[in-house]
Each structure stands twice: as C-alpha cells, then as structure tokens.
Amino acid sequence: MTRDFYEKLAKVRHQIHAHPEISEKEFETTAFLKDYISKLDIRILETDLPTGFIAEIGQGKPVVALRADIDALPIVERNTFDYASKNGAMHACGHDFHQTSLLGAAEILKAKEEQLKGTVRLIFQPAEEVSVGAYQVIENGGLKDVSAIIGYHNYPHLKPGEIGLRSKAIMAAVDKFKVTVSGVSGHAARPDFGTDTVLAITTIVNNLQAIVSRTVSPFEPAVLSVTHIDVGSAWNVMPESGYFEGTMRSFSAETRQHLRESFTKIIENTADQFAAQVSIEWGKTPTLTFNDEELTPLIAKNSERFAKVLEVEPLTIGEDFAAYQEKIPGVFALIGSNGDENAAGLHQDTFTVKDEALKTAVQYFVENAIYLLDYFAKDED
C-alpha cells in the first residue's frame, strides 16, 4: 500500500490513543471501530458482546480468524505529545496499535475479497487486560468453523520491521492468588491467648519462596511473586485476619499443576503450625499461550517475505489469546514497535510505539491470512 495509506492509519491510531477505554467499558471504541468497518462495506456479525465485535470478509470455508484487543489500562499517561490521553486511562500496552493494524488489514483484504479462498474473520476483542474477553468471544461463537487464528502483541524491545516467533510456549500461563489467613484476635501483650496472623502470614510467604528454587527444575522457567500483604491496623493488637496476594507464572501444564499443589500444601501446613485457618482464591487468568507446532514454522517462513523474523525466548507475561489456542490451532507473534534501548516497557506510563511499525503489523495480518486460506483450502478440496 502507499505511504498515504499508512499515514492515514497513523492518524487513526493517534485518535484511538487519545480516547482510551478500560476493559469492558470500550463503548466509544467499539462504536468508532464499527463505523470504520461499516464504511468499508464489511459485514458485522450479530452477537451479544457488550463491547467489541466480530466481522467477516469473503465467504465460505475455510475460515481464518485475525484477532486484535481493544481495551486500555487504568493508568494516567505521562507522555506529552499532542495525542496523549487525558482521561485517566491509557493505551500503555499498545492495543491502539493492534486494533489500528487490524483496521488497515481489513481495508486491504476487502479490496482483495474476490480472490480470497474462503472467509477472513476479524475479531476486535474486548477485555484482554482482565482476561475475560477471549472467553466472551468464544461464548458468542467467535471460533465457529474457524480453522486457525493468528494474533500478535507489539513488543517495544524489537525494532519496527522485526517479528518474533517460536513454536510451543511463547507466553506464560498466569495464576493470580489471594490467600486469607484468620484466627483469634488478641492483645499484643499476650500472644498466647490469640493467633499471631502476622507471623503466620510472613512465615507462609517466606516458605513459598522454596517452591521454585527447590522443587522446580532449574531448566524449567517458573516465577512466584507475592506482591501485596495486608494485615493489622494497630501497634498493640494481634489482628484476627489478614491476606496476601500475588502471581505465579509457568510454561507447561505439569509445572503449573505442581506449583498450585505445592502452593496449597505449604500454605495449609504452615497455617496449622499457628492454629490459623486459610482460604485460597484463584483469579481467572490466562493459560499458556502455545503456538501450534505445524503452523508456526509456516507463518514464520511466509513472514520472511516482508519482515525480519527472529526466534524469541518465551515471555513471562500472559495473554488471553491462549483461550483461543485451547480450542483451535493458533499462532501468536511479537511485532517490533520501538527498538530503542531506553524505550518504556509495556504498562509504563510513558509507553509509546512508533507509527512506522504499523506496516509490518498490517502485512502480518494480510499476508498470513491469505496464506492460511490457501493452505486450508487445499484440505477443503
């Protein structure tokens, strides 16, 4: 496409960036995107999605899905460029970049509609940051008849024009936990009359650190981080209860199960030492983002026609794109969006992407959608 096309897309991204909306509140974003897609004469499917939507180009089988997430984060932006957000939310993870690239891909694919050997399904997905959007799309039939799905996340540590791929695990399975410890409150002068929930919590937290360091193979990546402790409110009172929360990250189903089982066992056994009661709450979080072993090398080779393709190490961050990959073959890439050594990382309040990276992202969608339709059309024949 022409330089004017990508300059237009950059302006679209700037507009989206200036008006971010947090997860499950993407009402104006959805309206803007639907209007854009409708003006391209692309059909929008009827669903019960409150935000986000699904559209289609082409007809018949096979069906290949392209996914972009549309939500922002509750972060106050500190960038000073003229399109910086001023509403208290921020596209600090680059979802403005993702949805803009899918808009650009949609325009190109619509122009090629008569040559498509099947259907391209466009998924503008809400609520990725709270790990429920992909499940909402699936519940609304987003994967019906789909042979494969592709997506990506921008990655500021790669340069524009670079694509990172790997077969198997590319992003971690995420576990979010909240552990409540309770007992009998009492006077700090007579701890023997009550339950020392402060000591119970701090001992549990210390004991948990042995799980990864002493029970997981050093050749198997895993993370356990306690990030928040809340217990007590007075200097001379032993509190009745308190809690701590945090996250675990893993790259295989076996390791994830081991982490959860060990986590539970250590917490219950340590609590028993202090005559305390415990409850564990697990949040709804992404499973392992696992790239299809057959399709990923094919996508990598096809992408070499328009980008520099690198094999990357897996990231310990999570992605609800994993929900799609549990159902059908999927390929998830990392697309370079900055490349400067000092560039802000994902979720930072000065995060930004370079508009010049849009071209590679659009090509990733377009070229691989056409490639996969041709690939699966052979099976249809």
* HEC letters along 284-342: CCCCCEEECCCHHHHHHHHHCCCCEEEECCCECCCCCCHHHHCCCCEEEEEEECCCCCC
Separation between Cα atoms, residue 40 and residue 7, nearest integer Å: 18
- One-letter amino acid of 103: L
Contact criterion met (CB below 8 Å) for 143 and 326: no
C-alpha span between 46 and 59 (Å, rounded): 16
Distance of CA 71 to CAs 31, 104, 121, 146, 203, Å?
13, 18, 19, 24, 38
Helical H segments across the chain, by residue range: 3-18, 27-39, 95-111, 133-139, 197-208, 210-215, 253-273, 295-303, 322-325, 358-380
Helix (H) or strand (E) holding 227: strand 222-231
DSSP, collapsed to helix, strand or coil, labels residue 204 as helix
For tokens 């809340």, the residue is 230
**How far, in Å, are 181, 210, 227, 228, 335 from residue 199 at the CA level?**
10, 18, 17, 16, 46
Asked if 150 contacts 369 with a C-beta cutoff of 8 angstroms, the reply is: yes
| Sign (positive or negative) of CA dihedral 35, 36, 37, 41 | positive
* Amino acid type, 328: I
Binding residues: 93, 95, 129, 153, 347
60: left (phi over 0), alpha (psi -120 to 50) or beta: left
Q: Indicate the annotated binding residues for Mn(2+).
A: 93, 95, 129, 153, 347
